[in-house]
Structure 1
């Protein structure tokens, strides 16, 4: 009996020898998006900008009949995302501008509950009179990027990026980075009329 057990253990040891186990390296999803091709967004608005040709649907609607306010959606169906823009005319008082600035900054700060980090980058183009800020909201948040720009006198534009998916920072990061470049390009090419 002991002989059989020793023979069994010896056979088991001989056949169990093999290559050492090597764990697989961590992999990341590779998503290749086409190179951005920008064209003028020909919309009847108090400003112009360049939009990526990948934005298949650009929808615009007047938000308020009494004031000059517009909602513009740049839809990216292939990425299941949309950049929402809201334009508001500044009335002839500073209070109106400060209200818009406070609302834009508060909207970004509402994400601090879920955000890991919110780096804000100021933007300024004195030649075209475009001043504002871009905020990248890192973490599992509903809107990973937000911005506002103004001329401080007549125009105020805010924007935010949303995806039609459950917020998972790692999963949407490649698409988010791509669309954040589009937002920055929009800010850099924006001209007031």
Structure 2
């Protein structure tokens, strides 16, 4: 009888320990963000330039104007992406073009403390007299993209991309890539009035 009880106890103990789950590593989860294909519409505001804006962005409601200095500020908000492209237009005169370009370049270089890399790309459209630079900023910098364009005679426009959230390169990368394409489209469709 004792042998039977010992045998049953041993079998029950073996069954209990054999039913344990082996540890299985969890698969890595990746953030999947699907953005709609970009659709563009021409923005013809009362400004010295026009361009095409993505319809995903809000309608431009507010234009900051400084008549004395002939400057305009435009914010293109993307609420679903939690980002904004800030544009600043400045009328060029014989004294301010070089300082404007230098200021734009210095603004980009201020991100070197947090940036992993800054890649600059020359932009030139001779047909519409639009020349400038596009900067891609890699890493946890505050601005992921910046640019400036000019006709070298009358017009200067610079822009930068900022997100509402604390920069974390991995989490904002899909939105940053999407908006970089929009910035390039703004540069490509820009026409001076």
Query: Normalised by the size of structure 2, how large is the TM-score?
Result: 0.88
After superposition, the C-alpha distances for 1:89-120 in whole angstroms (9 at most, x for unaligned) are 101x1x41100000000000000000001111
The aligned length equals: 186
1:60–1:73 contact (8 Å) kept in structure 2: yes
Match of 1:89 among 84, 88, 91: 91
Assess, with a 3 A threshold, how the Cα gap between structure 1 residues 103 and 13 changes in structure 2: closer, same or farther: farther
- Whether contact under 8 Å (1:135, 1:147) holds in the other structure is yes
Corresponding residue to 1:42 among 41, 44, 47:
44
Match of 2:143, SS?
coil
Structure 1: gaps of 5 or more residues:
none
For 1:28 and 1:144, the matched residues in 2 are separated by: 21
Larger Rg: 2
Q: Partner of 1:183: helix, strand, or coil?
A: helix
Partners of 1:176 and 1:17 lie apart in 2 by 48
Equivalent in the alignment of 1:55: 57
TM-score using structure 1 length = 0.88
CA deviation string 1:160-182 (max 9, x = no partner): 00111011111111111111110
Q: Secondary structure at the match of 1:49?
A: strand
Residue aligning to 1:150: 150
Q: Which runs of 5+ in 2 are unaligned?
A: 1-5
1:16-165 to 2 correspondence within 5 Å?
Answer: 16=18, 21-91=23-93, 93=94, 95-165=95-165
Aligned residue in 2 for 1:188: 188
User: Secondary structure at the residue paired with 1:146?
Assistant: strand
The aligned residue for residue 172 of structure 2 is 172
Distance 1:179 1:12 in 2: 60
Shift of residue 27, structure 1, vs aligned partner = 2.4
